[in-house]
Amino acid sequence: MSGGAGAEAARVTPVLDVRGLSVGYGGRGGVTQVTHEVSLTVAPGEMLALVGESGSGKTTTAQAALNLLPQGGQVLAGSVHLEGEDVTDAPASRWRSLRGRRIGLVPQDPAGSLDPTKRIGDSIAEAFRIHRAAPRRVLAGRVLELLERVGLDDPARRAKQYPHELSGGMKQRVLIAGAIALGPGLLIADEPTSALDVTVQRRIMELLDDLRRESGTGVLLVTHDLALAGDHADRVLVLQGGRVQEEGRADVVLAAPAAEYTRRLLADAPTLATPVHRVARAPEVADAGVAPELTEPPCWRCATSR
């Protein structure tokens, strides 16, 4: 990279910039701190994988970035910037306008994240209605475009179906369609493939790769799966006990981890004990005889209690 190009890259504003974030949960015994000065950035079009074992602080960090910590959760120190805007202490009304429009969420559980009483098309259209982002006369067409974009076969039929009529992979695709409906600059994917079989996992991750290349959307991938991170992420950040152990390019960290904790994680994923070599993918082929999977997130966009 030339000096000019490097300087230009350095001036790019991250879609997510978390600085020194510490989070705790309050109870009768006081506040228990669970993350300690976590810092991370996600650039436009980049995928950062936040990896670690269960309880390492991955999901808490992602929830804090969305201002969706569970009851009792609170930011003790640090800041969150979204596309250059400091949203650390933003009021609930501001967050309602940000979620869905500038930041999207792909939740962990595709089966439980869609309203079982709503047709798929109505669930996806909810984002447009909440943000008044499209007139009613064009909503149906926008929904079909999204279903087609995420690779669902026969979008018109899928839009009329209910969640129980779709496979798990199809529901996850629907969730992605809902998350990207308004073209957010940042997508947070919290263990988006953990409930899916290996073949569908690969298709979902390839879909996320395609979306960020096409739209320049930055992706924060929360995962315990180092193989997934090695195959798809540009960079990884390793958490243990709410503390950053190391961060860097995925191929470098996974080939020669500096932290003992990362080495232990790699030992449990022997296929990653050698350097990761990326290969070009063939164009995605439509699922043969397998129902696609997608789901629309619950109405977290309009949450008023956070």
What integer pLDDT is reported at residue 294 of this predicted model? 31
What integer pLDDT is reported at residue 273 of this predicted model? 42
Structure confidence by residue, pLDDT tens digits, 183-220: 899 999 999 888 788 888 888 899 999 989 999 999 99
What integer pLDDT is reported at residue 270 of this predicted model? 52
Q: Which of 62-71, 109-118, 228-237, 282-291 has the lowest mean pLDDT?
A: 282-291
Return the residue matching tokens 């997608």.
294
* Residue 59 pLDDT greater than 60, yes or no: yes
**Average pLDDT over every residue of 272-299:** 37
* Residue 288 pLDDT greater than 50, yes or no: no
**Cβ distance 237 to 50 under 8 Å?**
yes
Q: Which of 155-169, 175-189, 196-210, 252-266 has the lowest mean pLDDT?
A: 196-210
* Residue 158 pLDDT greater than 90, yes or no: yes
Give the residue from 48, 29, 1, 177 showing the smallest Cα distance to 100.
177
* Residue 305 pLDDT greater than 50, yes or no: no
**Cβ distance 23 to 73 under 8 Å?**
yes
Angle value at C-alpha 303, between 36 and 57, nearest 5 degrees: 20
**Cβ distance 101 to 81 under 8 Å?**
no
| pTM of the predicted model as reported, rounded to 2 decimal places | 0.82
Q: Residue 112's pLDDT band (boundaries 50, 70, 90)?
A: confident
**Cβ distance 79 to 41 under 8 Å?**
no
**Average pLDDT over every residue of 219-248:** 94
* Residue 250 pLDDT greater than 90, yes or no: yes
* Residue 6 pLDDT greater than 70, yes or no: no
**Average pLDDT over every residue of 166-172:** 92
Q: Residue 299's pLDDT band (boundaries 50, 70, 90)?
A: very low
* Residue 68 pLDDT greater than 90, yes or no: yes
* Residue 274 pLDDT greater than 60, yes or no: no
Share above pLDDT 90 across residues of the chain, in percent, rounded to a whole number: 60
Give the residue from 90, 181, 176, 168 showing the smallest Cα distance to 134.
181
- Comparing 11 with 125, the larger pLDDT belongs to 125
What integer pLDDT is reported at residue 227 of this predicted model? 85
Mean pLDDT, the chain, as a whole number? 83
Q: Which of 144-158, 163-177, 252-266, 282-296 has the lowest mean pLDDT?
A: 282-296
Give the length of the chain.
306
Q: Which domains does the chain have, with CATH numbers?
A: 43-57+89-278+290-301 (3.40.50.300)
* 3 state SS for the chain: CCHHHHHHHHCCCCCEEEEEEEEEEEECCEEEEEEEEEEEEECCCCEEEEECCCCCCHHHHHHHHHCCCCCCEEEEEEEEEECCEECCCCCHHHHHHHECCCEEEECCCCCCCCCCCCCHHHHHHHHHHHHCCCCHHHHHHHHHHHHHHCCCCCHHHHHCCCHHHCCHHHHHHHHHHHHCCCCCCEEEEECCCCCCCHHHHHHHHHHHHHHHHHHCCEEEEEECCHHHHHHHCCEEEEEECCEEEEEEEHHHHHHCCCCHHHHHHHHCCHHHCCCCCCCCCCCCCCCCCCCCEECCCCHHHHCCCC
What integer pLDDT is reported at residue 5 of this predicted model? 42
* Residue 49 pLDDT greater than 80, yes or no: yes
* Residue 133 pLDDT greater than 80, yes or no: no
